[in-house]
């Protein structure tokens, strides 16, 4: 962590490049030093590639119905079987991955930006601003993500945008907390004090000198919370608060498959496993990254 | 100590008021007039006006707000738009089912997770450790509906050991237990995953302490060191996680109740969502807020009781 303020390498002029460089260097180190992160990353990248290629590699149209072959088990024509409307489950899974990933990535990106900004402001200014902001965050954090998600989506209505907003909202306090704590200690460090002495503006100190130092913590939280986001999205869709059918989403597929579970297990089982694998991959990444930034845990494992 | 309790109590009350206020205004800014939603597009202006009056929607917003708050605190949460019965009564009817499920899952989760975590810690970096770590990571990755469906497929549909529909209406204790077994196991397994992980890391930390070395030096058996000396000291983080997890447990109980078709708050909220029963939804938000606030309060207080070193600041 102290690397960023003592690094002898020429520093990029651009703030964004500095942040991105930090993030890349940290992720690269974690990937090479920890096998669990590597396994998680490989699975995650594979799912992303499959999702991007979905329109080209799907054997069938994900929404084309063929009532004559409905609820079939796995076969050579349909590797994972067909659902109640005779749609190919594999094709629907591949397309569904896009929604899980887009909602997971966008909602957590939104939460990271809003949350770290809020935490940065609370920790940097301290005092009354800090107390009020963190009290509000604590109230939101007190709610389980799923319950909060149900309430918000029920109120806003189930669309891709609203689901992203609702899930982002549940994760904002976590990022505010994670950003605030190191800011409070960093504020007292010499290099930040030197910034004050040189007459740098609050904004410059916050974004140029403090933000790069909390990047590793934020990346760890982001991967763990993205696991929660994917799980929440799937759970909401399972409850019936997902993107409207016939759009293929994993949670929605499980919901439809569950209604016919006595006739065919595959419609409910395969999308369930898909959610599990994606969440597991994200948790593996997050766990490995956490070990990489925590020296104590690192030596333990 | 008293100051600490009062402060936590104060925070709980503030949280409750804040969320109730939010619920009130959120329901009001919902797109669409609730009376039109209830009566349908075809309703006459007269019947809409009548319903507005009956629901108190013709009152000034400030007065509505005070009446809502007063009602919520007195336990008058309006009547369900679908069944016509008081919301509080519907909630209280199913609440015991949800509480029974979560309580059993909590106990079972700790009973399964604690020994697993200790087992992993004392066998650090050997096969038992790797196995428990992989299994617990799987457990905390699985959404409750995924693990529920797998349990249902294996134990109810393939093996036929348990009923597919849990019902919760069993009359004899044995029937009730059979109804409860799978849903409770589903929640408990996820709970156990969290407990295992935190017990393992907490135990590893405690085992590296000086007093453990002293105990070894005086010749205490490994069993006595782990179970008598170390376990008690590694419990504090475990309690915190159990408290934190209680909230997630309530969220997961919604999914579990749907999968196993068991009566409870989860089934109630899904029914209200499907039928656009706004007063019921409002009541559900109040009851969930109440539960979350109470659980957090209890965790804070228990935490203070277990660890005398906690500064009540």
Domain contains A8: no
- Cα A26 vs. chain centroid, distance in angstroms? 18
Domain contains A7: no
B144 pLDDT more than 80: yes
**Domain covering B87-310, topology:** MetI-like fold (1.10.3720)
Instruction: Collect all residues of chain A within an 8 Å Cβ-Cβ radius of residue B157.
Output: 261-262, 265
Residue for token digits 């006006």? B49
Q: Given this model, what pLDDT does residue A279 score?
A: 95
Q: Given this model, what pLDDT does residue B31 score?
A: 56
pLDDT tens digit string along B116-139?
998 888 888 888 888 888 899 999
Maximum CA extent, chain B: 88
Instruction: Collect all residues of chain A within an 8 Å Cβ-Cβ radius of residue B142.
Output: 276, 279
Average pLDDT over all residues of chain B: 81
Q: Of A78-82, B88-92, B287-291, which one has max mean pLDDT?
A: B88-92
CB neighbours of residue B39 within 10 Å: 15
In chain B, whose CA is at the least distance from the CA of A158?
Answer: B273
Q: Given this model, what pLDDT does residue A210 score?
A: 79
B153 pLDDT more than 80: yes
Q: Given this model, what pLDDT does residue A275 score?
A: 95
Q: Given this model, what pLDDT does residue A98 score?
A: 93
Mutation target to probe the A interface, by most A beta carbons within 10 A, among B130, B141, B254, B281 is B141
**Predicted TM-score (pTM) above 0.80:** yes
Q: How far apart are the CA of A104 and the nearest CA of chain B, in angstroms?
A: 15
In chain B, whose CA is at the least distance from the CA of A227?
Answer: B141
d(CA A96, CA A92): 6
Q: Given this model, what pLDDT does residue A4 score?
A: 45
Q: Which residues of chain A have pLDDT under 70?
A: 1-15, 294-301
Supply B309's token pair. 């070193």
B168 pLDDT more than 70: no
Give the three-class secondary structure for A82. Answer: strand
Residues with Cβ within 8 Å of B132's Cβ and at least 6 positions away in sequence, in order, are B116, B117, B119, B120, B196, B200
What is the residue range of A27's domain? 13-300
Q: Given this model, what pLDDT does residue B162 score?
A: 77
pLDDT tens digit string along A177-203?
888 887 877 777 788 788 878 878 777
At residue B145 the predicted structure's pLDDT band, cuts being 50, 70 and 90, is very high
The size of chain A, in residues, is 301
CB-based contact, A132 to chain B, within 8 Å:
no
What is the CATH number for A168?
1.10.3720.10
CB neighbours of residue A293 within 10 Å: 16
Q: Given this model, what pLDDT does residue A110 score?
A: 96
CB-based contact, A237 to chain B, within 8 Å:
no
Instruction: Collect all residues of chain A within an 8 Å Cβ-Cβ radius of residue B289.
Output: 143
At residue B166 the predicted structure's pLDDT band, cuts being 50, 70 and 90, is low
Q: Given this model, what pLDDT does residue A99 score?
A: 93
Q: Given this model, what pLDDT does residue A266 score?
A: 84
Provide the domain count of chain A: 1
Domain contains A2: no
CB neighbours of residue A59 within 10 Å: 11
A254 closest CB neighbour out of B149, B250, B251? B149
Q: Answer yes or no: do B251 and A144 touch at CB < 8 A.
A: yes
Q: Do A35 and A227 form a contact (C-beta atoms < 8 A)?
A: no
Domain contains A4: no
B144-151 helix and A266-293 helix, angle to the nearest 10 degrees: 130
A145-156 helix and A160-186 helix, angle to the nearest 10 degrees: 130
> Could you state, in order of their start, the residue ranges of all structural domains in chain B?
1-74, 87-310
């Amino acid at each position: 962590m102290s690397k960023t303020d003592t690094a002898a390498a020429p520093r990029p002029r651009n703030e964004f490049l500095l942040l991105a460089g930090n993030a890349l260097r940290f992720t690269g180190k974690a990937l090479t030093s920890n096998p669990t992160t590597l396994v998680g990353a490989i699975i995650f990248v594979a799912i992303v590639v499959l999702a991007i290629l979905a329109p080209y590699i799907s054997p069938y149209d994900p929404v084309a119905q063929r009532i004559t072959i409905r609820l079939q088990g796995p076969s050579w024509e349909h590797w994972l079987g067909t659902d109640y409307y005779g749609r190919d489950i594999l094709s629907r899974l591949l397309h569904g991955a896009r929604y899980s990933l887009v909602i997971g990535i966008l909602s957590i990106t939104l939460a990271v930006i809003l949350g770290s900004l809020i935490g940065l402001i609370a920790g940097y200014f301290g005092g009354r601003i800090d107390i009020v902001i963190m009290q509000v965050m604590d109230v939101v954090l007190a709610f389980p993500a799923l319950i909060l998600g149900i309430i918000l989506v029920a109120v806003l209505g189930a669309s891709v945008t609203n689901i992203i907003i609702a899930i982002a909202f549940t994760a904002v306090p976590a990022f505010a907390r994670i950003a605030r704590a190191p800011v409070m200690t960093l504020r007292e460090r010499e290099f930040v004090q030197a910034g004050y002495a040189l007459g740098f503006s609050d904004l410059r100190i916050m974004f140029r000198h403090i933000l790069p130092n909390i990047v590793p913590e934020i990346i760890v939280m982001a991967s763990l919370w993205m696991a929660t986001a994917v799980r929440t999205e799937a759970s909401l869709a399972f409850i019936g608060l997902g993107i409207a059918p016939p759009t293929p989403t994993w949670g929605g597929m499980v919901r439809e498959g569950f209604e016919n579970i006595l006739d065919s297990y595959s419609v409910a089982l395969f999308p369930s496993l898909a959610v599990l694998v994606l969440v597991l991959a994200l948790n593996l990444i997050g766990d490995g990254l956490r070990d990489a930034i925590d020296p104590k845990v690192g030596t333990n494992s | 100590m008293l100051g600490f309790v009062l402060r936590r109590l104060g925070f709980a009350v503030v949280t409750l008021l804040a969320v109730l206020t939010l619920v009130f205004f959120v329901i009001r800014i919902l797109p669409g007039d609730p009376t039109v939603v209830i009566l349908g597009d075809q309703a006459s202006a007269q019947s809409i006006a009548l319903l507005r009056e009956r629901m108190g929607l013709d009152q000034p917003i400030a007065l509505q707000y005070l009446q809502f708050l007063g009602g919520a605190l007195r336990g008058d949460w309006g009547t369900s738009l679908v069944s016509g019965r008081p919301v509080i009564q519907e909630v209280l009817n199913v609440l015991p089912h949800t509480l029974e499920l979560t309580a059993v899952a909590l106990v079972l989760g700790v009973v399964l997770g604690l020994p697993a975590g200790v087992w992993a810690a004392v066998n650090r970096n050997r096969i038992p450790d790797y196995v428990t770590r992989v299994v617990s990571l799987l457990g905390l990755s699985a959404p409750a509906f995924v693990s529920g469906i797998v349990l249902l497929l294996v134990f109810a549909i393939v093996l036929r050991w348990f009923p597919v529909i849990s019902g919760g209406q069993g009359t004899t204790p044995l029937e009730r237990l059979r109804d409860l077994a799978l849903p409770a196991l589903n929640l408990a397994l996820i709970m156990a995953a969290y407990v295992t992980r935190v017990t393992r890391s907490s135990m590893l930390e405690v085992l590296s302490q000086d007093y453990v070395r002293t105990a070894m030096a005086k010749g205490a058996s490994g069993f006595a060191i782990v179970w008598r000396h170390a376990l008690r000291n590694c419990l504090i983080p475990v309690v915190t996680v159990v408290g934190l997890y209680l909230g997630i447990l309530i969220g997961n109980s919604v999914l579990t109740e749907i999968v196993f078709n068991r009566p409870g708050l989860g089934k109630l909220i899904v029914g209200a969502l499907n039928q656009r029963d706004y007063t019921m939804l409002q009541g559900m938000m109040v009851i969930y807020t109440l539960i979350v606030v109470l659980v957090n309060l209890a965790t804070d207080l228990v935490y203070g009781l277990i660890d005398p070193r906690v500064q009540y600041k």
